[in-house]
Amino acid sequence: SQTEWEDIHNILISLWSLNGTLIDLGNDYRRHMSGGSLIIRNLDKDQDTGVYQCTAFNKWGSILSRQASLQFAYLDKFKIQTARSAVNVREGQGVVLLCGPPAHSGELTFTWIFNEYPYFVQQDNRRFISQETGSLYIAKVEPTDVGNYTCVVNNTITREKVLSSPTPLVLRNDGVMGEYEPKIEVHFPDSVPAAKESAVKLECFALGNPVPEISWRRTSGVPFPSKVKMKNSNAVLEISNFQQEDAGTYECIAENRRGKNAVRGRISFHAKPHWLQTMTDTALSIEENLFWECKASGKPKPSFSWLKNGEQVMAEGRVQIENGALSIAVLNLSDSGMYQCVAENKHGIIHSSAQLMVLGKIDSLPLLLSCLSVSRSGSEVTLECKPEASPPAISLWKKGNEILQRNESSNKTDAGSYTCIAKNQFGTATTTGKLLITDPTRITMRPTNMEIIVGESIVLPCQIARDPALDVSFSWAFNGQLIDFQRDSDHFERVGGSISGDLMIRNIQLNHGGKYVCVIDTDVESLSTSAILVVKGPPGPPDKVTVEEITDSTAQLSWTPGRDNGSPITGYIIQARTPFTVGWQAVDTVPEVVNGNMLTATVVGLNAWVEYEFRVVARNTVGLGEPSPASSKTRTEDAIPDTAPTDVGGGGGTRSELVITWEPVSEELQNGEGFGYIIAFRPVGTVTWTRAVISTPGVARYIFRNDTIPPFSPFDVKVGAYNNRGEGPFSSIASVYSAEEVPSVAPKKVKARSVSAVQIEVIWEALPAIPERVLGYEVVYWEDDTKPDTVGKVRISGNYTLVNITGLNANTVYYLSVAAFNTAGPGPQSAAINTTTKKPPPDRSPLNIQWTMIGSTLTLHWDPVVAMEAESKVTGYLVLLKRHRYNDINTILTNKTTVELSLSASDNYLIQIKAMSEGGEGVGSEPIHIHQLSEFTVLFPSTYHYLFDQL
């Protein structure tokens, strides 16, 4: 009976395994089962990590569940280490600070602390923190970046947080970094696999001076949909709900006025297996044949295997397996059991289960299918009775007591109850159904043939009028294949009510062009209507791009056309790239416009002796198509240089030298082998040029030495280029001065005084007019002649005669000397003088700070700070008052240990007190925070308006 059948199926036993080994629940106090579920208490990382799988079985067989993996997140501390080495960098240079996260499991996020908590590095177009590596990137270092940087690593699962040792960033004093083109330091891999519906993040950041701008594009030219977001000043590209159409090659471009660079990588679409077809429970007689087939989609394409009662099915003899198909010939009773088809790729594994019953005989009546028949008036009715029995049963139909002999056309009087009787040697069974006569179904709105552009959306109508007694279902077929609305939900959706089967097609692609058939099924009939959809899109890629002929500046190309994709090709664009370009760039052609009927063109304006690749892009009224494959690499012929060096200048050097500099000609413009430079120069006012030849292409400097050259005298200078084919053009003439002599006189009346424990002021008398130029003065200072590492130097340009030297040691004797300088270097030094820096200020802050508040007047009082013998005497106190609203700081100097402050009732304050001495400011007290409590002023206007706390 049905009840007994259900009772048998409800008697299920479940077993769990860990890493393939059965879990013994009898002796395990932490693990137990409830309703087949495995419950683990007091999780243990070492004992419970691994892959779990459940086996369920009853009298009919057993099946395996999908596997489940249990892992534990953790985050170790950074290894105990001394302070990290300082990173020395010039102003204007880019820098990368490495984080090096410790061992961990689970997703991490990274931040960086600047100097001290809670000051975090704020990301902008100049600073970027990679969430892949944790490293901090500064595109162009500025003086404000100097300080200590600490990497903070957070585990998003355990919420643990660990801090690295600080990394000092120090600014070098040997000059400022000049401008240079972007250097991409953060970029995504060449190949990025992405799962369907996942969120994909690509990082890209470049160092450079000026700070580079980051932009993104798809190499196909397809614009980004609205779901693609740019974050962190375009350093992060994020694609949400990743789909098949999002796959392709993505390019990040970093650009500043010195140049640009680019990186690219391909995002490939991956998806876990998804069932397209599965098998169902089947009952067959002995010696019949079984054929089951399951189909699944996925990327990569899934592989298939079969299980019987949880054990692998092997192909041999009667059993054959081919991909997702299982066939068993000449069944016997031992073939009964629970079977599973398993589809698997690297992104997941899915199971489909079904029962096979092999029947020898039945111990009860044949099992019959219940019957409910519906027909429309005037149609032919077939009432089928197919009992499930072994051996097969004989059946017949009755209406009342009348046995029916043949099929007849139906009318309203044929409605009623019909009984099927089935019989074999083991018994007899009956079942009864009703025949209902209905009105015919009509299609009231049909789809029509249409043309549409790629990316648009349409609705194909399919609507009917029907008898209310009928159930109706709609389905759609595309090019002969039934549309799976669940699998293809990205593009296809059924819309409308119970009498509408309208088909919405979103974001139409080229492969959606074809024949669409709407199928209407009722209980009595099936109707259909169809339409042809033509999809127009950008052209397909041209092919076989060939360089037919090439000169030093032109190339004759030919190609074959690609598909026009429903819209005639209207023109072609030729693109080229070389080892010197960033990606592909459009080039000039003859004719200037290449129309859609042409399959040849001449590219003009090429550089000589450069290796080129070419490709062709077709366009039509819809847009630009995908580019063709690249042609073979071909080098243009060589030619005489046609580009002169630029930025010709120079000057400086030592006595009797003429220094000439220029910007080298790039390899792309050298036009051939044997490239070099011709330097020509002459004293201003003369006509004869002196020439020199340099055969090294990368050299950008030439020094002419001759004892007869007067110091700081002007020369006309020009620089030209040559190669094996001949001499090219010269640059325009520039005026360059020969080296000058150092100043011949030392400054006089040099004096110095100690300003504080760390600062000395030096003054001197300006030099009178002398034959040599004076560009400024240089002060040299040192502690001891026997310690060269204590020597310091300060230069000041212009006619200034005073300089402050800072960063000195307290209570220390310093020797100082002053010299004038110009481009040839410093002249003679003045006689050395000496002075001693002040004793240091007290290293203790004011203590026992107390205050009272009356109205808006705050009175502060503190204990005096007493200087030690090795410290400067206290001369007073400095009170710093910072207003939060205006973010300004006021200072009050007093020689007392008390002060009164008038505060605003509508602001918050931070107060700090320092001792003052000849040696400078002492250590500041702990900040005092005074917070306004606005609610107090409303409720209690005559009472205190402030809350005080000392942090």
- Is domain 546-584+602-636 annotated with CATH 2.60.40.10? yes
**Would you kindly state where each structural domain of the chain is located, as residue ranges?**
13-70, 74-177, 179-271, 289-311+318-359, 442-536, 546-584+602-636, 646-738, 748-836, 847-931
Second CATH level (architecture) for the domain 442-536: Sandwich (2.60)
Q: Looking at the domain that runs over 646-738, which CATH code has it been given?
A: 2.60.40.10
Instruction: Give the pLDDT band of residue 179 (cuts 50, 70, 90).
Output: confident
Supply the mean pLDDT for the chain: 87
Strand, coil or helix: 559? strand
DSSP secondary structure, 513-557, as one string? -EEEEEEEEESS-EEEEEEEEEEE-SPPPPEEEEEEEE-SS-EEE
Please report the pLDDT score of residue 5 as a whole number.
36
Q: Decide: residue 497, CB within 10 A, 0-12 exposed, 13-18 middle, 19+ buried.
A: exposed
For residue 408, pLDDT beyond 60 = no
Please report the pLDDT score of residue 398 as a whole number.
78
What would the pLDDT profile of 229-275 be if each residue is shown by its tens digit?
999 999 999 999 999 889 899 999 999 998 889 998 999 888 889 89
Please report the pLDDT score of residue 424 as a whole number.
67
For residue 639, pLDDT beyond 90 = yes
What would the pLDDT profile of 771-812 be if each residue is shown by its tens digit?
999 999 999 999 876 666 678 999 999 999 999 999 999 999
CA 629 to chain centre: 27
Cα dist from 288 to 324, 327, 347, 362, whole Å: 21, 11, 38, 16
Instruction: Give the pLDDT band of residue 938 (cuts 50, 70, 90).
Output: very low
What would the pLDDT profile of 287-297 be if each residue is shown by its tens digit?
899 999 999 98
CATH class of residue range 74-177 = mainly beta
Cα dist from 594 to 540, 570, 591, 613, 807, whole Å: 17, 9, 6, 19, 69
179-271 fold: Immunoglobulin-like (2.60.40)
Q: Looking at the domain that runs over 847-931, which CATH code has it been given?
A: 2.60.40.10
Instruction: Give the pLDDT band of residue 900 (cuts 50, 70, 90).
Output: very high
Pair 441, 520: CB distance under 8 Å:
yes
For residue 882, pLDDT beyond 60 = yes
For residue 687, pLDDT beyond 60 = yes
Q: Looking at the domain that runs over 289-311+318-359, which CATH code has it been given?
A: 2.60.40.10
For residue 153, pLDDT beyond 90 = yes
74-177 matches 179-271 in fold: yes
Q: Decide: residue 900, CB within 10 A, 0-12 exposed, 13-18 middle, 19+ buried.
A: exposed
| First-to-final CA distance of the chain | 81
Domain spanning 13-70: CATH superfamily: Immunoglobulins (2.60.40.10)
Which carries the bigger pLDDT value, residue 347 or residue 586? Answer: 586
Instruction: Give the pLDDT band of residue 666 (cuts 50, 70, 90).
Output: very high
Instruction: Kindly state the average pLDDT of the residues 707-715.
Output: 94
Q: Decide: residue 535, CB within 10 A, 0-12 exposed, 13-18 middle, 19+ buried.
A: buried
For residue 29, pLDDT beyond 60 = yes
What would the pLDDT profile of 3-25 be if each residue is shown by its tens digit?
333 443 445 677 788 887 788 77
If you search the block for the tokens 């424990």, which residue do you land on? Answer: 757
**H or E element, residue 482:** strand 481-482
Please report the pLDDT score of residue 612 as a whole number.
97
Instruction: Give the pLDDT band of residue 946 (cuts 50, 70, 90).
Output: very low
Q: Which two tokens stand for residue 147?
A: 């300080």
In angstroms, the CA 587 to CA 609 distance is: 17
Please report the pLDDT score of residue 53 as a whole number.
83
The region of weakest confidence among 193-202, 374-383, 429-438 is 374-383
Instruction: Give the pLDDT band of residue 217 (cuts 50, 70, 90).
Output: very high
Instruction: Kindly state the average pLDDT of the residues 100-116.
Output: 90
For residue 701, pLDDT beyond 90 = yes
Q: Looking at the domain that runs over 748-836, which CATH code has it been given?
A: 2.60.40.10
Pair 312, 305: CB distance under 8 Å:
yes
Instruction: Kindly state the average pLDDT of the residues 818-842.
Output: 94
Please report the pLDDT score of residue 896 as a whole number.
93
For residue 430, pLDDT beyond 70 = yes
